[in-house]
Structure 1
Amino acid sequence: MPDSTNPPNPPTPPNPPTSADVARLAGVSRATVSYVLNNAEAVRISEPTRRKVRAAAEELGYVPHAAARSLRAGHTRIVLLPTSHVPAGPLYSTFLNELQWALRRLDYTVVQYGSLGLTGDEAVRAWAELRPVAVISLGETALSPHNVDTLKRAGARAVLTLGPERVAGAHALVMDQAEVGALAAAHLAGRGRRRIGVVVPEEPGLDLFSGPRLAGARTVPEVEVTPLALAYTEESAAALAARWGELGLDGVFAYNDEYAVLLMRALLDAGVRVPEDVAVMGADDLLIGRLVRPRLSSVRIEMPSGEWLAGLVDRAVRVPSAMAERYDLTGAAAVPREST
């Protein structure tokens, strides 16, 4: 009968396979294994040999040791995307997905890091612990020149920031959200609308976009702008539509197409005619805006491809001095349809 007071020792886990094991099974040198599995482009290796090495690694379950690889290279292959929320809707999400796929094809490891609740200094210290080779700050954490220096001292070869201003030591990727708001307001003004509501989403993480879009709308002198808080729920839209008469607005820029469709449906349900009583404008020019009736006027935003930005990150890592200080990422144009 086993002694319950002295349970048997758990079995010792087997040692993980090494590159030497892969080399023996494939009949090649360890250096060849390293070249193949690290996608080294400077060394010419035949395709049959590459297939043989990969097959041996697959059979043994061998995975290169990231820490050892980083020590040899002098840096990691981590590109850090600090983000606390999923921002801005389908257009932006598609862009981020393309960026991550393109970086992976360039042999980078993309790490999304949730920094919710951390201050700038706290967040940067947490990012630096991962020793990323590059950081793409999406703007949720305001960086200072000291923060950029901290990241570079920890091994980051490139720090790219998304926002209207460049931080010293970093490269600025400028997305002019104010232009989006100005174009929407100018389009509504051109339709004779003078008292315009601008939707400001209540969802966290969207103020990076909604704040500049509101500010841009306010630059159009012909219109009077009223901010409108709106959560992305049918209940919130219905409550806003129910008091539309007392607001006295004849146009609305609803932040983006998703919020525009949500609000337009609530307005129509409340008996507010679109566009006769109120003209409705969205942004991002999403498919959903062309499917609803009346078809939604929008601001089309020309985003760069994720592949382009991945190439920019790669160049910044390899030759930081060759980078420009500022890159303008977007252009925009109003697209008139039936809702205005």
Structure 2
Amino acid sequence: MRPRATSVDVAREAGVSRATVSYVLNDAPGQSIPEETRQRVLIAARKLGYSPSAAARTLRRGRSDVVLFVLPEWPIGPVIGTLISTLTAELAAHRLTLLTYQKLPGSTPFRELWTAIAPAAIIVCEALSDAELETIRTAGIEVLTALAPDPAVQGSLAVAQELFGWRQVQHLTERGHVRLAYAYPADERLESFAAPRLRGARRACSELGLTAPVVATIEDDNAAHVISQWRALDEPVTALCGYNDEIAFALLDGARRNGLRVPADLAVIGVDDIPVARYANPPLTTVATGVEVQSRAIAASVLGILADRPARSPLPHQNDIVRVIERDST
């Protein structure tokens, strides 16, 4: 096998010093390298198949070009997928690589991972203990808290989850509905998001002078049965809030199996505005969570921290992010 080319080989091929090769290939600031010299180095590097060693660069700088994104044990659906892809693109534009790590049973312990890769920064979605933060920051690694379900968490860039439930109820009452139900998820991993969304729906009903929404957990194939129970109440339910769009799809199916027309007999609203929501039958009214806006704000905050600028990139006002996308299901 041909030995891997080194910066010494590139310097020899280009007829320049090894330092010049380093300056050119690492875009070192403050260096005046003639364009002709820069091109010679780039041509030599391509010819020899040279690429800088990430490990060596990490040793020189004391950190890598990796941003570690730590996810709790949340289901990875369309919203988290959009978050990851947007963050990846935003950071890649600044030559940073996003490494996503999910805390699952049996996975590599968090401390072992960050000490092994020495990331430039760590994005967490749950508040770390003071001891953990101190240990990480003592190692020269920046930490940003993002998307914690409670936006009061120090450094969190999350939007208040209660606002999603509030928006659902507000929209339904504007359409004339006064008896509402809330469809709760069965997946316990979603509890930290589901509980505040339900609180928001209850608070909206209270503030608007409505009876509190009836609540049931939607799991397996029980949506039709739950809807039949809600419709059999002394004051039948006429509008349903789904925890998210996936649960709202189950409600649409449950309504059809009960012979109910949506929205003539029963209105349905979800949360997330996932791509397939517009193709539901009927197209699903939902609350957009602004995940792309949040993702860009997180990326901007990371870049600000690494450039020694203010750590936070404020989100636009929540009212501009969390908005109802009205379609035919309400």
Q: Structure 1 length as normaliser, TM-score? A: 0.79
In structure 2, the CA distance between the partners of 1:123 and 1:246, relative to structure 1 (3 Å rule), is same
In structure 1, the residue matched to 2:125 is 138
Which residue is equivalent to 1:261? 249
The aligned counterpart of 1:8 is none
Which of 184, 199, 203 is 1:200 aligned to? 184
Contact 1:198 1:254 survives alignment (8 Å): yes
Distance 1:287 1:158, change over 3 A: closer
Q: Shift of the alpha carbon at 1:217? A: 1.3
Q: Is the 8 A contact 2:245 2:286 kept in 1?
A: yes
Instruction: Give SS of 2:83's match.
Output: helix
Percent identical among aligned pairs is 33
Distance 1:67 1:88, change over 3 A: closer
Contact map agreement 1:179 1:332 (CA 8 A) in 2: yes
Task: Using the TM superposition, give the Cα deviation of residue 193 of structure 1 relative to its aligned residue in structure 2, in angstroms.
Answer: 3.2
- Give distance in 1, aligned partners of 2:317 and 2:64: 27
Superposition deviation, residue 85 in structure 1? 5.4
Distance across 2 between alignment mates of 1:146 and 1:205? 25
Select which of 25, 33, 37 maps to 2:25. 37
Alignment of 1:157-236 (within 5 A): 157-163=142-148, 164-165=150-151, 171-203=155-187, 205-220=189-204, 221=206, 222-231=210-219, 236=220
CA drift of 1:143 comes to: 1.6
Residue 223 of structure 2 is matched in structure 1 by: 240
CA distance in 2, matches of 1:146, 1:172: 18
Give 1:79 shift: 0.7
**1:81-115 deviations in Å (ceiling 9; x for gaps):** 01255756434422321211121221212211121
Write out per-residue CA displacement over residues 285-318 of structure 1, whole angstroms, 9 at most, x where no aligned residue.
3453333343322213334164443232111122
For the residues of structure 2 that align with 1:286 and 1:325, how far apart are their CA atoms? 25
Counterpart of 2:326 (choices 311, 336, 339) is 336
Alignment partner, residue 305 of structure 2? 316
Task: Render the CA deviation track for 1:204-240: whole Å, top value 9, x for unaligned.
Answer: 6444433322221121212423443335xxxx2x432
SS for the counterpart of 2:322 is strand
- Partners of 2:91 and 2:299 within 8 A in 1: yes
Q: How many pairs are equivalent?
A: 316
Q: How does 1:256-295 map to 2 (within 5 A)?
A: 256-295=244-283
Counterpart of 1:6? none
Task: Using structure 2 for the length normalisation, give the TM-score.
Answer: 0.81
Contact 1:196 1:250 in 2 (8 A): yes
- In 1, Cα distance between the equivalents of 2:129 and 2:29? 37
How far does residue 47 in structure 1 lie from its aligned partner after superposition?
Answer: 5.1
For structure 1, which segment, 79-88 or 243-252, has the greater mean C-alpha deviation from structure 2 after superposition?
79-88
The answer to whether structure 1 residue 16 and structure 2 residue 16 are counterparts is no
Cα RMSD between the aligned structures? 3.1
User: Is the contact made by 1:87 and 1:93 (CA closer than 8 Å) also made in structure 2?
Assistant: no
Question: In 2, Cα distance between the equivalents of 1:262 and 1:45?
Answer: 62
Offset of residue 118 of structure 1: 7.5
What SS does structure 1 have at the residue aligned with 2:194?
helix
Contact 1:22 1:33 in 2 (8 A): yes
Q: Which consecutive residues of structure 1, in runs of 5 or more, have no partner in the other structure?
A: 1-12
Quick one: distance in 1 between partners of 2:171 and 2:84?
Answer: 29
Q: Is the 8 A contact 1:177 1:212 kept in 2?
A: yes
1-structure distance, mates of 2:37, 2:152:
47
Q: CA deviation at 1:42?
A: 3.1
Q: After superposition, what is the alpha-carbon deviation per residue over 1:29-86, rounded to whole angstroms, capped at 9, x for unaligned?
A: 2122212322324324455544543443333333322232123223322210012557
Secondary structure, counterpart of 1:198 in structure 2: strand
Of 73, 76, 89 in structure 2, the residue corresponding to residue 101 of structure 1 is 89
- Counterpart of 1:152? 137
